[in-house]
Amino acid sequence: MGNVISRTLEWVSANRWRRSLLLACGTLVLLAALRARTIPLTPEHSEFNNPWDHHKYIWMALHDPFSFGVAPFCWRIGTPLLAHLLPFKVETSFAIITFLSLWLTGIAFYAIARRLSFPYWAALSGALLYYTQGWFVRANLYNIWKPDPVAVCVSLFAVLCILRRNNWAYALLLAVGVLFKESVLFVAPLYYSLNTDRPWNPRLALRTVDLAIPAIVVLLILRALIPMRNDDPAYIAQLPHVLSQVQLGTSTYSVTWLWHNIGLPRLHSFSIQDVSSATVGVFGFVVVVLPLFSLRRTASLLVRWLPLVLLVGLHVFFATNAQRLLAIGFPVVLLASLCGANWILGRFRVHWASFAVFCLALVGVSLLRTWIVVVPLPYQVVLLASYLVLCATWYFAWGRNRRSSREPTCCR
């Protein structure tokens, strides 16, 4: 039986087309299953009439996206413009854009993991683990109107271009991405940190700035073409309540106002409970615990990705719904999890395909209910403990004479 499984795994991973087919079709089926088990925020939904962001993006898609003046939504024209141009009903257009973006994001993460020398089954496991990130995947299947899926998708493909040293494609993706959301610029410092071989490299720093200039120019042009009218009482008065509200029941939008009304209160009320909420509560117990099995390698990874970690962490002080904001940092956490899993599998000499099955089981648990943002803690603890016991059992029964797999680049 073991030989049959081994030969099957080798048969799948030996051919690039078979690998690609399994990745594309498998992740597509998983995302479709998650979509089927999620009730989207459509006009029939009981929460649809709340004065949330979706009303602004819907209005922009139904009208001229350039004629809306409530910041910061008015500058995120990419997704509404795409929905406006597609030949479908606005709800269908947003749903298609969100679904395809979420699917392509998983594939982009797989490609990044492969570029970092993770073997096929490890990268596939990472792509499966991505679908457990409910605060990003499930939350956007619920709120189909947001620009975040496209923005994160473009960001990951930009990171892939950095790793492949494709500067022109990287600069283009960055410039296009800021049309969807300004947070795409969080990727820009990664060009330096992922490429440098020493703390300070003046030439690389200059190239990092040069390649970010087109995106910065696009942002400035957007702000020149679409002036912010949040402080115009006449304009705000003519808008429906759901369109005029930005945060905390007001139309005010400025960095200083956001810091004083969101950032400082969060900082003053910070507690150890917030650490748990920002880690296990966002990414899940398994994804947070796995990196602890390989602390040295996790620390090395975090140093390379530190600019993204810092920017994602800081921007929760300027907007509400911290979990959704932190969730876009999932690529770093998932890569760290793969490094931790690599240590476990190397120690017990277990094939990566077993970890892929474990990740698939986690996704399966999330399908049990129509709304699970994070798989409940008891399920995660039981699944991880069971997997570790099985790995240890395999090692003592059959695995002692097997060779450990080669360490991926980012795990060294």
**Banded pLDDT at 270 (limits 50, 70, 90):** confident
Most confident of 182-196, 236-250, 310-324: 182-196
CA torsion sign, 31 to 185 to 276 to 390? positive
The one-letter amino acid at 223:
R
Name the more confident of 16 and 86: 86
Distance CA 96, CA 169 (A): 25
pLDDT on residue 1: 47
244 pLDDT higher than 80: yes
237 pLDDT higher than 80: yes
CB 228 within 8 A of CB 74: yes
pLDDT on residue 22: 85
The string of pLDDT tens digits covering residues 113-157 is: 999 999 999 999 999 999 999 999 999 999 999 999 999 999 999
3-state secondary structure (DSSP) of residue 6: helix
Q: HSE (CB half, 13 Å, CA atoms) of 358?
A: 28
DSSP 403: P
Q: What is the mean pLDDT of the chain?
A: 91
pLDDT on residue 319: 87
- Identify the weakest region by mean pLDDT among 95-99, 370-374, 375-379, 401-405: 401-405
Distance CA 39, CA 35 (A): 8
Nearest C-alpha neighbor of 125 from the set 298, 360, 363: 360
CA angle at 353 for the pair 347 and 355, rounded to the nearest 5° = 60
333 pLDDT higher than 60: yes
What percentage of residues in the chain have a pLDDT greater than 90? 78
* Domain-wise residue ranges, the chain: 37-227+248-411
Instruction: Read off the pLDDT of each residue in 341-360 and give the average, rounded to a whole number.
Output: 92
CA torsion sign, 11 to 17 to 20 to 26? negative
Task: Return the biggest CA–CA distance within the chain.
Answer: 77
376 pLDDT higher than 60: yes
The values of phi and psi at residue 340, to 5°, are -65, -45
pLDDT on residue 273: 87
